[in-house]
Structure 1
Amino acid sequence: MTGACEAAPARRRGLTVLPLVALIFYDVSGGPFGIEDSVRAGGGALLPILGFLVLPVLWSLPEALVTAELASAFPTNAGYVAWVSAAFGPAAAFLVGFSKWASGTLDNALYPVLFLDYLRSGGGLVLSPPARSLAVLALTAALTYLNFRGLHLVGLSALALTAFSLSPFVALAVLAAPKIRPSRWLAVNVAAVEPRAYFNSMFWNLNYWDKASTLAGEVEEPRKTFPKAVFGAVGLVVGAYLIPLLAGTGALPSETAGEWTDGFFSVVGDRIGGPWLRVWIQAAAAMSNMGLFEAEMSGDSFQLLGMAEMGMIPAIFARRSRHGTPTYSILCSATGVVILSFMSFQEIVEFLNFLYGLGMLAVFAAFVKLRVKDPDLPRPYRIPVGAAGAAAMCVPPVVLITTVMCLASARTLVVSAAVAVAGVAMYYGVEHMKATGCVEFLTPVPPDSLRGSSSSSSSSAASDNGGDDDVEDVCALLLAAGEHAGEGVSVSKENY
């Protein structure tokens, strides 16, 4: 390529570094809520502590670096869908987008469940099954409405929620300090270790760094803002996990490892500080789950908007409300959350990890291929390694993904295969709708006209180069989406 893949001029931008840090923090973490099961599944404190020291380097940092580089090169709401499209073409990109959207919707179904688990823990509020189902519906509806009101509001809310969600753990660490016995950090009961549950818990608590890339089209100066926000979030996530984990496991007897399940940090607060700290942690958990839901919902819905702007899914998903939010994309994601929220915590985590892993394998492959295929692609932030170094950097996370996927249950394999089959069927269904014109799709300016070449010559060049024009095609689509942006519908609609 001879020129930069410039960002499509967005109609509404507003996210700056700090709100974006908060949204990435909630995409990945949201605080230590949910890490408790890693202590039980790890047979004590040692394995989760080692996990949160080592895995951020082997897994989180490579994914964060890839996100920073490619989000700065392709500042679009399509995020990783655009990266895979540039590397492997639209068919592969559609399947990755579908699998990662399904994974994100599964992930979001956890947060109303975790919210109620924290209310119940330590002798708190206990709801009957019908009341619990109604509570999940009410929470989902309320949080979906907040997301509908605007991404800028969500970003500012995430900042406040981050401060509040982490505040009780500062108190917990201070109160636990005199009671800590470092020898407890070395405790491990090998017979109690559950590898599948342990790796799924660790993987879930450290993934989704790339999710924020689907908000790149809503960020002020994304080429500069994204790298800063990603690296700031890495430090925040690691600290938010390690400090409470070290405080809780160091201050309580090692024999309590079997008690560490969802919501146990409120019990830790009660035992270390008393009822007031338990209530504070429960309130922080509730607020954290609000932030987690909002960040995930934003990523999922804006991903659908970005795919619609690229003509991959019907135009209705690109329609924006008066608040600038993708109305139908939000409703689609919220419906998926409600349908999936009846599943158990462990079932959801294992299913979403497998689907997410499939998508991330494609993302890492796209990152390496773009380094080889188009080394001159303007990358405002570039990881300071060559193509070989980029490939080597991806080896540890790929090994970890493969490990988690190999530990999956037969049920997870069946569900994931069904999702893959559904994705293929949807792709061909969408292609049929485009061919028949029965559904409206966005029609960007043809890429060839933006490159100043004829259709025939471009097709010939693409054939000769083995599809090397995919990067320019994606850039042209992004430019076209921005040029046609308007009120109510993000781009003009025609039959594809």
Structure 2
Amino acid sequence: MSLSQQLLRRKPLAAFDESATEREGGLRRTVGAFQLTMIGVGATIGTGIFFTLSTAVPEAGPAVIVSFVIGAVTAALTALCYAELTSAVPVSGSSYSYAYATLGELVAWLVGACLLLEYAVSGAAIAVSWGQYLNDLTQRLFGWQMPAAIANPPGDGGYVNLPGVVLVVLCCLLLVRGAKESAVVNTIMVVIKLAVLALFVVIALSGFHAGNLHPFAPMGFAGISAAASSVFFSFIGLDAVSTAGEEVRNPRRTLPLAIIGALLVVTAFYCLVAFAGVGAQKWTVFKGQDAGLSAILQNVTGQTWPGALLSAGAVISIISVTLVVIYGQTRILYSMGRDGMLPAMFSRVSPRSGTPVGNTVVVGAFIAVLAAVVPLDWLADLTSMGTLVAFAVVSVGVVVLRVREPQLPRGFKVPGYPVVPVLSVGFCAYLIWNLPPETFGFFAAWIVLALAVYFGYSRKHSVLESRQEEPVLTR
């Protein structure tokens, strides 16, 4: 087999057959539709909305609302593409698996690398923000805070972010117990999260002043665009639904419903929170405002209890984000290990819990290190880059699979095809273009490292290589 054939070989769709997966003694189907929707909401709300306004509003002013709309449109276009692919190829691995079935092994490997970057880095970013809200809560309730040296990320007065490390360890311990138990706990925390954000909207709107919306776009459209690329970080997590493809009941129907349902809930809450926040506080005050939503409530009410309640809700609910992010990454590693792209240890499942325990330990350790020592702003932009690249590939995958497998059973089809996938790619490219220049450098270094691993290990150990299967190049 030539090098070009190796790079372009695709995993046959028959290999993704869900019943075959179950016979292999892999992951167990224990997650229902509502729990899966809550996984999508839990992975998304909290990844940015609790702290993103303090960085996005100074970039765009009150027009940050438009930035959220741009992010929501991009997420919606991609979510529709994810919904079709999850219904056609209902397996773990998210866009890595979809790329392997449509675009070939090398593209799949690079998408997998982007996903690993997305999940690991976003998990670390959330763990960092959790420590800030924990300090805010203890200050409001007890008048005490942890020293900044162990509570804040580097670059923000800290040296080692200890609370972030503790949070990652707790999430890993829960995930080791089983997917069903983790989904139940996540659902409870998501309900708390939504209730807290609803409280914020109600109280903030009571202090709404139309004058706070003027000037609406002080930085012009350039500021709106820059903020849109930043706040897109807040929409990351919807694709976590697709990582549960082998652990959800009736996947061809449940997966697309959960993705679309999660998107609707997330978009509604984000737009309401952004509108209420900029209406209750002058946009110039947001810069450098830690735990910004709590500060807004305290300014509106003149009392401490609403802010304390919001901080408590954030402390509890951000746990769900970290939980689902770690869950998603372990399932992606599981799929890559099963395909031979990573060592076999990543595809091992505990016979007792039905979960990839080894993956959980490895992922937890990596995320804990990132949370402890890497500055928060670097983490956010790197996450956006990795996610946008993966999203664009999913949209391309929809078109390719429609052409190559027009008769493949699909529980959902993208409306407005092929316009929607093309627009999705365009929006992703637009947001990537507006990311900071240094992010491109870090991302390029990550891709170079990924290519080194592929040519040094994955290409030779691929299951398709070991089976001596002919690559599927054309149809």
TM-score normalized by structure 1?
0.81
2:166 is aligned to 138
**1:283 aligned onto 2:298:** no
Of residues 253, 263, 268, the one that matches 1:239 is 268
Of residues 337, 356, 368, the one that matches 2:387 is 356
Asked if structure 2 preserves the Cα contact closer than 8 Å seen for 1:99 and 1:423, the reply is: no
Tell me, in whole angstroms, the C-alpha distance in 2 between the residues paired with 1:314 and 1:255. 51
Superposition pairs of residues 114-153 of structure 1, within 5 angstroms? 114-121=129-136, 125-130=145-150, 133-153=161-181
2:124 is aligned to 109
Of residues 208, 212, 220, the one that matches 1:180 is 208
TM-score normalized by structure 2?
0.84
Tell me, in whole angstroms, the C-alpha distance in 1 between the residues paired with 2:283 and 2:390. 38
Tell me, in whole angstroms, the C-alpha distance in 2 between the residues paired with 1:2 and 1:348. 35
Query: How far 1:258 moved relative to its partner?
Result: 3.5
Change (3 A) 1:38 1:242: farther
1:65 is aligned to 80
Of residues 37, 52, 69, the one that matches 1:35 is 52
Instruction: Select the structure of larger CA radius of gyration.
Output: 1
Asked if structure 2 preserves the Cα contact closer than 8 Å seen for 1:3 and 1:378, the reply is: no
**1:467 aligned onto 2:435:** no
Describe the superposition over 1:183-221 as per-residue Cα deviations: whole angstroms up to 9, x where unpaired: 534543524975675133221112342232111100011
**1:381 aligned onto 2:412:** yes
Query: How far 1:243 moved relative to its partner?
Result: 2.1
Q: Secondary structure of 1:218's partner?
A: coil
Q: Secondary structure of 2:77's partner?
A: helix
Superposition pairs of residues 425-444 of structure 1, within 5 angstroms? 425-431=452-458, 434=461
Of residues 284, 296, 316, the one that matches 1:268 is 296
Describe the superposition over 1:45-93 as per-residue Cα deviations: whole angstroms up to 9, x where unpaired: 2x2212333432x311111111111111111112211211111222221
Describe the superposition over 1:6-41 as per-residue Cα deviations: whole angstroms up to 9, x where unpaired: 423435111111111111112222383133135423
Change (3 A) 1:430 1:93: same
Q: Secondary structure of 1:258's partner?
A: coil
1:452 is aligned to none
Describe the superposition over 1:259-317 as per-residue Cα deviations: whole angstroms up to 9, x where unpaired: 5x452001112222321111111111111210000110111001111122223222110
> Number of aligned pairs?
441
Describe the superposition over 1:100-122 as per-residue Cα deviations: whole angstroms up to 9, x where unpaired: 11221011101121011223448
Q: Give the superposed CA RMSD.
A: 2.8
2:367 is aligned to 337
Tell me, in whole angstroms, the C-alpha distance in 2 between the residues paired with 1:7 and 1:396. 31
2:182 is aligned to 154
Describe the superposition over 1:119-177 as per-residue Cα deviations: whole angstroms up to 9, x where unpaired: 34485524231465333322221222112221111211111111111223333333334
Change (3 A) 1:74 1:409: same
Asked if structure 1 preserves the Cα contact closer than 8 Å seen for 2:244 and 2:331, the reply is: yes
Query: How far 1:370 moved relative to its partner?
Result: 1.2
Tell me, in whole angstroms, the C-alpha distance in 1 between the residues paired with 2:51 and 2:242. 24
Tell me, in whole angstroms, the C-alpha distance in 1 between the residues paired with 2:290 and 2:123. 16
1:420 is aligned to 447
**1:16 aligned onto 2:32:** yes
Tell me which amino acid in the other structure corresponds to 1:173: V
Unaligned runs of 5+ in 1: 435-440, 447-454, 469-496
Asked if structure 2 preserves the Cα contact closer than 8 Å seen for 1:43 and 1:189, the reply is: yes
Change (3 A) 1:150 1:262: farther
Query: How far 1:4 moved relative to its partner?
Result: 11
Tell me which amino acid in the other structure corresponds to 1:290: I
Of residues 184, 192, 205, the one that matches 2:234 is 205
Asked if structure 1 preserves the Cα contact closer than 8 Å seen for 2:240 and 2:324, the reply is: no
1:228 is aligned to 257
Q: Secondary structure of 2:246's partner?
A: helix
**1:44 aligned onto 2:61:** yes
Percent identity of paired positions between Structure 1 and Structure 2? 22
Describe the superposition over 1:330-349 as per-residue Cα deviations: whole angstroms up to 9, x where unpaired: 12211221232222221111
**1:77 aligned onto 2:92:** yes
Tell me which amino acid in the other structure corresponds to 1:397: S
Change (3 A) 1:134 1:371: same
Of 261-270 and 23-32, deviating more is: 23-32
Describe the superposition over 1:357-391 as per-residue Cα deviations: whole angstroms up to 9, x where unpaired: 22222222222111122222221222244xxx32x
